[in-house]
Amino acid sequence: MKENTFKITNYLKKYSFLIFLYIFIYLLASACTVLITIGTAEIVELITNEKYQIAIYYSLGVIGLLLVQRFSWWVTDIIYYKVSANVTMEINQDLSKQAFKLNSKTYADHNTGTFVQRIVHDPEMIVSNLSEIFVSISDLLTSIVVFVYIATLNVYISLLLVVLVVIATGLEYWRVHYRRGARFKLRRKRDKVHSLTTEIVRSEKDIKSMGLEEKLSEQTLECYRDYNQYDRKINTIDLHLWSLRNLIINAGTMAILILGITFIEKGLIGLATYMIVFSNRNSIFDVVWGFGRIGNMLADIKISNQRMSALFDEKEFVTEKFGNKPLLNVSGGGSVVFKDVSYTYYEYDYESEEQEQTPKKKKTKAERKLVSTNHLFEKLSFEIKPNTTVAFVGKSGSGKSTILNLMSKMYDADSGEILINGENIQDISKDSLRKTISLVNQFPYIFDMTIKENLLLAKRDATDEEIYEALKSANLDEFVATLPLGINTKVGESGIKLSGGQKQRLAIARALLRNSNIIIFDESTSSLDNFAQEEVKKSIDSLKGKSTIVIVAHRLSTIKNVDHIFFLDNGTIVDEGTFDELFERNITFKTMFMAENI
């Protein structure tokens, strides 16, 4: 797959022989359908003319065609299940890989449903619709052949059929055209519903503990109502057009049947011809419905393809950029230097994309609309020396976490230089940078695996001895020892079976296993109680002198023993020094600490 492109044909080429075989066999089944229809009509004609022996031969032939048809459909189903499963899996895998390439800012700008639906739902939609389109085309051709066969039986019936199909097809085109314009916006609303549902499931404890059930129920209802109202609006208009189309076809079909009776009465057609027309009257529905169904599926494929392709669009889904330079192994901790770093937070509105998706005005790519900007840093400079423990403190919004995101290359600076172990962060390879820097977030994600499996994610070949050593350094070994299954204990989705402090310490153990030169802690104790906070603090203290430790602290009491503190205010380092130095000379720092300990 080429960089920044997505083509479904790239995945189908691999299975070209099976796809060709599928098409050939299905066409064979369709040919059988046509021959069965014509053969059945001939049987009726033969019975009417009392040619019973020949009718029996024709019947045996029809039975043989039925067996071939059924066997062909069985084979095509087997081929479809194999190819569709493999193609869907390969697309899912490549979209997942692309999602891993996206930077953290991109994830912050979009909701969860945006990614989940595009990675999981849209590939399934495309693959299933591609197969259904071919089936529908084949069925449509079959219906057209039957339709033409019926039309050739009588010129007046033929003219009435043509007029009826033209009118009904016009209505069907109108219906499909409307649905095509509304589908994209409906998908975006579905993304929001999916994201909200995911958030509710993941935060059920917080919702219950804070008594937010009623409030969130109202919010959920509003979101669902918005989606359902729009969905109902689309389906209601679709129903009106669909019903009108069917009414016209039903009325026309009855007119044809009445006309046929009149022709029988006048001797213009025989009873057998009338029976053929009567038994195949639904072919009119099949012809018109086939055009509409193909149109709907093409619209779904186009929308799904646009949504998946958008993941490769750098304007909306920005990817991480790395260099190729490896960092030399540094014993102990690494150094970090910011030189005149500037960073602005841009907030965009992507809703403009769905507003442009109308039947009369089509766009294939999203157009970002800048909503607001927040200039956080202007020529920010500082240095963190190897094997030191430093902290960034300041009021909320002063830029502490953003510095950590820039330092770990979750964000990219607008200008200036960030040096890791003396190398420009833009030049460092991805593997080298990720090995050098480990980040422990305020709410680290613990996977639905065992403790051991969670730790092996950090180091695939870690021995049990290394795992126990990491747990010990993170002050989690005593807790694990109390578990009946020890390190083989499953912790549940997002580590639900662990306390907040235990999650933090497991995340620290995970970082320790990577043996990183620089370990970053982003508000790691702010959400913990005093006992859990003290345990995590002990874990961090045990790392001193082994790695460079960078801490963003909400509670100033947790950083009293660090080597150096940078005090931030509105994106500027207004003071720096040890805890005692800042407490002595900086009134704001002292006030913050005193307020915390009242």
Classify 571 in phi/psi space as left (phi over 0), alpha (psi -120 to 50) or beta. left
- Is 425 within 8 Å of 343 (Cβ atoms)? no
3-state helix, strand, coil in the chain (%, to 5): 65, 15, 25
Q: What is the DSSP letter of 464?
A: H
- Is 231 within 8 Å of 182 (Cβ atoms)? no
Element counts in the chain: helices (H) and strands (E):
21, 10
Report pLDDT for 305.
85
CA dihedral 240, 242, 245, 251 (to 10 degrees): -90
**Amino acid letter at 218?**
E
Q: How far apart are CA 75 and CA 300, in angstroms?
A: 27
Please determine, looking at this structure, whether the domain spanning 336-596 carries the CATH number 3.40.50.150.
no
Report pLDDT for 329.
60
Report pLDDT for 33.
83
Report pLDDT for 237.
78
Low-confidence stretches of the chain (pLDDT beneath 50): 1-4, 352-366
Alpha helix stretches (DSSP H) within 49-121: 52-101, 104-109, 112-116
- The separation between the first and the last C-alpha atoms of the chain, rounded to the nearest angstrom, is 60
**Can you read off the two tokens belonging to residue 468?**
């126990």
- Is 123 within 8 Å of 88 (Cβ atoms)? yes
Report pLDDT for 216.
67
Q: How does pLDDT run across 381-399, given as a tens digit for each residue?
A: 999 998 888 999 888 778 8
Phi, psi of 292 (to 5 degrees): -65, -40
Domain with CATH 3.40.50.300 in the chain: 336-596
- Is 4 within 8 Å of 312 (Cβ atoms)? yes
- Is 504 within 8 Å of 440 (Cβ atoms)? yes
Q: How does pLDDT run across 221-254, given as a tens digit for each residue?
A: 777 778 778 878 877 877 777 777 778 777 777 7
**Can you read off the two tokens belonging to residue 271?**
């009873």
How long a stretch of residues is the chain?
Answer: 598
Q: How far apart are CA 506 and CA 517, in angstroms?
A: 19
Classify 399 in phi/psi space as left (phi over 0), alpha (psi -120 to 50) or beta. left
Domain with CATH 1.20.1560.10 in the chain: 9-310
Query: Domain 9-310: which topology?
Result: ABC transporter transmembrane region fold (1.20.1560)
